[in-house]
Amino acid sequence: MTTNDQLFERARQVIPGGVNSPVRAFRAVGGTPRFIARAQGAHMWDAEGTQYIDYIGSWGPMILGHGHPAVLEAVQKAAVEGFSFGAPTEREVELAEEIIRHVPSIEQVRLVSSGTEAGMSAIRLARGATGRSKIIKFEGCYHGHADALLVKAGSGLATFGHPTSAGVPAEVVQHTLVLEYNNVEQIEAAFKAHGPEIACVMIEPIAGNMNFVRAQVPFVRRIRELCDQHGALFIFDEVMTGFRVALGSAQSLYAQAIPGFQPDISVFGKVIGGGMPLAAFASSRRIMAHLAPLGGVYQAGTLSGNPVATACGLATLREISRPGFFDALGARTRALVEGLKGAADAAGVPFCVDSQGGMFGFFLMPELPQNYTTVMTTDQPRFNRFFHGMLERGIYLAPALYEAGFVSAAHTDADIAATVAAAAEVFRTL
C-alpha cells in the first residue's frame, strides 16, 4: 500500500509544493495532506484506505454528495457521445436556460471553465459596458487569481498570511480599490472620491474565503444605491453561494430583505458544474450585448460549455430543483452547526457558528466576525488542534481556518451525530 506520506514526497518532486491548489498542502494546519482515492455519498477514502466524512465537498460543488446516480448516468452518456467539440451543443442552451429559470436578475449566460475565468470576465465586461477603469473589492473576499483581484484577498492567500501576490505589478492593481467588508462609511467615501471612475463593485455576498461572513443587509442595500446613483455596476460573486445557499442563490435572500434588489452581473461556479470544471457569468441582455461576438468586450474559451461538464451541471441543477430539497439541506446543516455549538459550550470553548442552505462556518471566538480584520484574530493554534483532532476521528474539514464548510444531501443523521460526537471529544482536549 502506498501511504499519504509517500505520495506527498513524490508529488513534491514534480508539482510545486506537492499540490495543484495551495490550500490542499496542509501548510496552514501542519501535517501531511490526505491523497484521496475515491468518494461516495458523504464519504471519502484516502490512499491508505482511511474513511472520512467529507465536509469540503470539493469546496462546494458536491451538493448531492459524491457519485449521485442521476449525475453519473448523465456524465457517462455524455462522455460516450464525445468529450469536446469546439462547436455549440444543445446542452449549453439547456444549462443556460436552467440557470436563468431560477435567477430573476439574469437574461443571458456565458459559460466558462473556472470561477477565476468567470470573475475576471465579469470585471472586463463591467469595464467595457461602463467605459470606466476603477473597481472596488473588499478585503477578505476572494474572486479568483486574476491579477487585478489579488489585493488583500482571502482563501489561500490568507492562509499563508500574504495580503498580495508576488508577480502582480503595482500598475496592474492601481485601479483596484480595496475596502473593509461591511463598512458602509468606506464605500460611501470611495464613491464620493471616485464615483465617475468606478466601473463596478464586486462582492461575495457570503464571504466563504473568510470562513463564513455575511454581507449585512444595510451594507448591500447601500452599495446598490451608490451604484445606481453613480452609474456603476454591482457584481455578485456567487461562485461559492450560487445554488448552494438557496435555489435562487444568495441574491434571492437579499431580495427578500431589500425590495426589488438585483445585482447587475452574477458570477457562478462550483454547483452549476456539479464537480466538473464549469463556471459562468450572467447579466441582462443589454449588458451582455457588449460581449463578443456582439460587442467589443472579448472573451473566449476552447472548453467553454464542455459537453461532459454541462451534462454534469444540468443533472445537478435538476436534482436540486426538486421540491423540498433546500428545506431538507438547510435543516441538516443547522443540525450540524447546532450540534457543534452545543459540544463547544459543554466544553467551555469559545465558539460561534452560522449557516445558510448547505454552507456553514465556525469560529473559535465568542461572536461572529463581520470583517477580515476580526477574522484574523481567531486562535489559529487552537483551530489547528481541532482540525487534526477531527481528522484523526474521520472527519474531513477544510484544512485552513479561513474556509467555509459544506453539507450535502448525502449526509445522514448518523453522519451528523458522528461528527458532533467527535467534536465533543476534541473540544474537551482544547
Residues in the chain: 430
Query: Which of these is catalytic: 142, 181, 254, 402?
Result: 142
Q: Beta partners for 267?
A: 237, 281
Does the annotation mark 327 as catalytic?
no
> Phi then psi for 268, rounded to 5 degrees?
-125, 160
Give the DSSP H/E element, type plus range, for residue 254.
helix 249-257
| E strands present in 263-406 | 265-268, 279-283, 352-356, 359-363, 395-396, 405-406
Which residues have CB under 8 Å from 148's CB, separation 6+? Answer: 120, 123, 135, 172, 173, 175, 176
Does the annotation mark 181 as catalytic?
no
Does the annotation mark 341 as catalytic?
no
Q: Is the dihedral of CA 102, 65, 72, 208 positive or negative?
A: positive
Separation between Cα atoms, residue 181 and residue 183, nearest integer Å:
6
Cα distances from 388 to residues 29, 162, 199, 239, 393, in angstroms, run 8, 24, 44, 28, 9
Query: Which of these is catalytic: 181, 254, 270, 402?
Result: 270
Query: Which of these is catalytic: 46, 54, 237, 264?
Result: 237
Which residues have CB under 8 Å from 57's CB, separation 6+? Answer: 63, 65, 406, 407, 408
Give the DSSP H/E element, type plus range, for residue 37.
strand 36-40
- Residues with active-site annotation: 142, 237, 270
